[in-house]
Chains A and B, each alone.
Chain A
């Protein structure tokens, strides 16, 4: 408790932890083309785009 006269206080009274209000933070997918590295990945994406554009 804080003593209003002396302003003495206990740290535990004032150092409050975070409010408990959990929010999920799902892990994102970032490694979609891991097998062949950057160039294989770029090639794969180019091939996919070409295929898509051909119908």
Chain B
């Protein structure tokens, strides 16, 4: 068995990390210095120092993302050299954890993947295990019923298994751990999915081949693309995942070295490596910082790497799909869970024996949720700043009889704003150029189509950024106040929201926007124009949330799957149609009744 040495990080990986880190730090410090110079034009004070520090930290996070994207543009995704060509030797279990999902839709995905595996002639070495943590007894009854039909119609006795836990201890990680403790020795590899995951049979087989070719590989992560998005928000997310994410993932892959990411699903693990390395302890103290580890995937990746196994993202793999939230509220609900899970990682940064990059990944995850708090603090400090400013000294020299006017520093503020906005838009615009040159834009409406979609997505994300800023800030506050967010089931219906529903979930954002404008008007009227791009979307939050949850009227945000549905999605559709045909023996399921 090949294991890793302590100093096995490649020079290329080290250089890539160094470049991205150095570039982001230089950009952040530059932003901080420019701001300090602008802020102290009316006389230096403590608030200027605080604001400069806040903008330095916030800019670092933006610059880090931008640098990762720019790095990703320098190379193309390609398959690894090592690939096992012969018959597959090991046995793989495809693990489908479910939690109050619609069993008809979920099991139709299993039927589709099983049918897709038939075409590879390797189906015999693949089993499916449905691991139910469903709490609702009536949905669980439907799960058994649909599972029986699945097994019958796929002729899968002895290849498909179902079990439901009496208690969902440890949530998804506990569910997986329970499976390995019961059945892990029966398998060499496990493909971990989410209930909404779909993967082509050929992709699954290819992943197993790659793992068989690399005995030191503990986990292989694919890059899932979003399918079936219907709303404006969902399609914007789907476009981002299809058009930008491959480039950002390329950058990440160049920096991953041996300590790549695990995103919790659409990934293949070596069961023995996972079992010996990833038994998660219950953290001391109460939730949200103690108790069971919520965002287990990052921790499992770090533990595999700590044990000497390689964790790798292969961003060249196609045929890996998931579904995404259709509206901002569902996105915020999911983000609330991720926020709690990532902040809990503060407890693990200093865990013994981890690779430095694993610790840095924890820091990144934490920063993703703390950065909006820094931005909000910067805005509040800017509103308060005039109150603390000492005012310009027009007569700095007592021997000089004429007033000296401080230089106009507005251009510095404008320059800084352009620079910060540039960090957001430059990588995306370069991706348009790169995709047009490489032909990848053809699946996104061509060069012009992709360009217009990108500009529209930039405008849309600018509009929604202040709303997410407040949602994320509230999530962080809730976690810090030790309010456990729980794990509500995802809403995977059509996702459209009425104004009333949006208002009930976001009235407080409107109120915050109004309060921010009023405070600016009273305390810092010179900042009013600067505040409008932030406060107006807050004021209009219920309208933006409801509008973006509806189906689009334009042909923006085209993705390759619009023109040609991936075969696995077509298979899923055909199984859903087959199972949705009315039959006397099929009463409405509990899931459809509850969601009617």
The answer to whether B157 touches A16 (Cβ under 8 A) is: yes
Q: A14-B157, A23-B275 are in contact. Are A32 and B350 (CB under 8 A)?
A: yes
- Chain A residues contacting B277 (CB-CB under 8 Å) are 28
Neighbour of A31 across the interface among B157, B158, B278, B284, CB < 8 A: B284
Q: Is B276 an interface residue (CB 8 A)?
A: yes
Contact code string A1-33 (vs B, CB < 8 Å = 1, else 0): 010000101010111111111111111111111
Is B185's CB within 8 Å of the partner chain A?
A: yes
The residue of chain A having its C-beta at the shortest distance from the C-beta of B290 within the complex is: A31
Identify which of A2, A11, A19, A38 contacts B349 (C-beta below 8 A). Answer: A38
> Which chain B residues (110-162) contact chain A, with CB distance < 8 Å?
129, 144-145, 147-148, 151-152, 157-158, 160-162
In this complex, the member of A2, A21, A42 whose beta carbon has the largest number of chain B beta carbons within 10 angstroms is: A21
Chain A interface bracket (under 10, 10 to 19, 20 to 34, 35 or more): 20 to 34
Known: A30-B351, A31-B347. A25 touches B180 (CB 8 A): yes
Q: Are A23 and B162 in contact (CB under 8 A)?
A: no
Give the residues in chain A near B187, CB-CB below 8 Å. Answer: 21
A31, B281: Cβ atoms closer than 8 Å? yes
How many residues of chain B have a CB within 8 Å of chain A?
44
Chain B minimum-CB-distance residue to A45: B350
Q: Is A34 in contact with chain B by the CB < 8 A criterion?
A: yes
Cβ–Cβ contact B186 & A38, under 8 A = no
Q: Check if B283 is an interface residue, CB within 8 A of chain A.
A: yes
Q: Contacts A23-B272, A31-B284, A38-B350 hold; do A15 and B162 have CB atoms under 8 A apart?
A: yes
Most chain B beta-carbon neighbours within 10 Å: one of A16, A21, A42: A16
Chain B, 95-123, contact with A by CB distance < 8 Å: what is the 0/1 string? 00000000000000000000000000000
Q: Nearest chain-A residue to B302 (Cβ)?
A: A30
Q: Which residues of A contact B279 (CB under 8 A)?
A: 25-28
Distance between Cα atoms of A47 and B280 in the complex (Å): 28
- In whole angstroms, what is the CA distance A15 to B141 when docked? 11
Task: Among A16, A32, A33, point to the contact of B161 (Cβ < 8 A).
Answer: A16
Q: Can you list 18 contacts pairing A with B, beta carbon distance less than 8 Å?
A: A11-B148, A15-B144, A15-B151, A17-B161, A17-B162, A18-B161, A18-B179, A19-B183, A19-B186, A21-B183, A22-B181, A23-B183, A27-B281, A28-B278, A29-B352, A30-B351, A34-B284, A38-B350
